Amino acid sequence: MPVPMDQHFRLDLGAIDPQDAERALCLWSNSPGNPAGGLDGLPAVAAWGRKHQVPIFSDECYVEFTWDGPAATPGQLPGQSILSSGLDGVVAVHSLSKRSNLAGIRVGFYAGDAELVSYLSEIRKHTGLMVSGPAQVAAVAALKDSGHVLQQRERYWSRLGRVSDLLNSIGLHAPLPAGAFYLWVPATNGDAWGLAERLATELGVLVSPGEFYGSTAAGFIRVAVVQDEDQIAELERRAQNL
């Protein structure tokens, strides 16, 4: 069931019904979040899970693209894993799809509480296929290199700023996210589909209406800044000619 969110699109742990907590099998955190880019307080999420004896699964595939908050240790980038709060009752799930642009080879991994990891491994053996050897070698090489991640951060942050400025210039409110590489934009009069159609017609831009992400996301659009700089420059040119 959906967990209540606060105004910054973070898990609102205090708003969870105690009866729901009592019967919950797990709690899933996605931080930084897709689509809104909110940052959950992962130490508090881990503590909540231990208090209520609810396993926590933390989806951290955007953690390298955290823009707000302190670094986990001096010299590191902002963003931290739930594992920094201990392994008891928590599992972190990560992917190289975003970090290293390896979406096509479907490489991911999980780590955390030994008992939960053991259960997952048993399930995994019967529900999926092994990642191919070449893909695993590529993943290991990517994980050992942080230079390309820094370059990715620079690209996405630049794109976020440019597209945010552009959308603001045509009368929308496109705040920069706390994490990930999406802009979460409220639609005028709450008409997300109408705004999506307008952007497609006037600018040739395809965006996702918030309803794609559930009824609580209605009235917003998600703008993914995944096009290269030349495409964004063309978008800026078109916006100037409106």
**In the chain, domain spans:** 13-143, 147-240
Q: Please measure the distance between the N-terminal and C-terminal CA atoms of the chain and give it in whole angstroms.
A: 43
What's domain 13-143's architecture? 3-Layer(aba) Sandwich (3.40)
Pick from 72, 40, 73, 58: nearest CA to 113: 58
Give the C-alpha separation, 96 to 180, whole Å.
Answer: 14
Q: How many CB atoms lie within 10 A of CB 11?
A: 25
68 pLDDT band (50/70/90 cuts)? confident
Give me the chain's average pLDDT, please. 93
**pLDDT band, very low/low/confident/very high, at 73 (cuts 50, 70, 90):** low
Over range 71-91, report the average pLDDT.
Answer: 82
- Which residue has 């699109």 as its token pair? 9
Which pLDDT score, from 0 to 100, does residue 131 have? 86
Q: What is the mean pLDDT of residues 28-51?
A: 96
Q: In what order do the strands lie in the sheet with 220-224?
A: 182-186, 220-224, 208-209
Would the pLDDT of 28 be above 90? yes
pTM beyond cutoff 0.85: yes
Task: Work out the average pLDDT over 61-70.
Answer: 88
- Mean pLDDT over 146-167 rounds to 95
Q: What is the mean pLDDT of residues 13-26?
A: 95
Which pLDDT tens digit goes with each residue over 223-233?
999 999 999 99
User: Hunting for tokens 């908050």 — which residue is that?
Assistant: 69
Q: How confident is the model at residue 76 (pLDDT cuts 50, 70, 90)?
A: low
- Measure the CA–CA gap between 231 and 234, rounded to whole angstroms: 5
**Burial classification of residue 238, based on how many CB atoms lie within 10 Å of its CB (0-12 exposed, 13-18 middle, 19 or more buried):** middle
CATH classification for the domain delimited by 147-240, as one of 3.40.1050.10, 3.10.180.10, 3.40.50.2300, 3.90.1150.10: 3.90.1150.10
* Helix intervals (H) in the chain: 18-23, 42-52, 96-99, 114-127, 133-143, 147-169, 192-203, 229-240
* 39: phi then psi, degrees, rounded to nearest 5: -115, 115
Confidence check: pLDDT of 20 > 80: yes
Q: What is the pLDDT of residues 159-216, one digit of tens each?
A: 999 999 999 999 999 999 999 999 999 998 999 999 999 999 999 999 999 999 988 8
